[in-house]
Amino acid sequence: MSSFEEYFYKNIASQIRKCRIERGLTQEQLSEMLDKNEKYIGHIERCERKISNTTIIQLLDLWQLQPQVFYNFSDFYTW
């Protein structure tokens, strides 16, 4: 995995965890809401699996979250 790809997926994982916790959901509850394996969100949050764009779209729709808010990463990537 390239360093930019690692940066991208770590920030996605961080955003998912933050949003999930803000909504009072467990990893298992969120996995169930997405109709995924009960361990799925845990794997995503630990960067053990890559999340698909389709699942990100499901999350944003579920949470009624604007993409620009979700992709507003707290740190900048340095090439």
Torsion angle defined by CA atoms of residues 62, 68, 73 and 79, in that order, rounded to the nearest 10 degrees: 130
Looking at residue 79, its pLDDT comes to 87
Looking at residue 74, its pLDDT comes to 85
Q: Across the chain, what does the average pLDDT equal?
A: 95
In the predicted model, what is the mean pLDDT of residues 18-38?
A: 96
Among 30, 32, 14, smallest CA distance to 73 is for 14
For tokens 């890559």, what's the residue? 50
Confidence of residue 75 (pLDDT cuts 50, 70, 90): confident
In the predicted model, what is the mean pLDDT of residues 21-35?
A: 97
CB 20 within 8 A of CB 30: yes
Q: Please tell me the distance from the alpha carbon of residue 34 to that of residue 45, in angstroms, as a whole number.
A: 15
Instruction: For 28-43, give the DSSP string.
Output: HHHHHHTT--TTHHHH
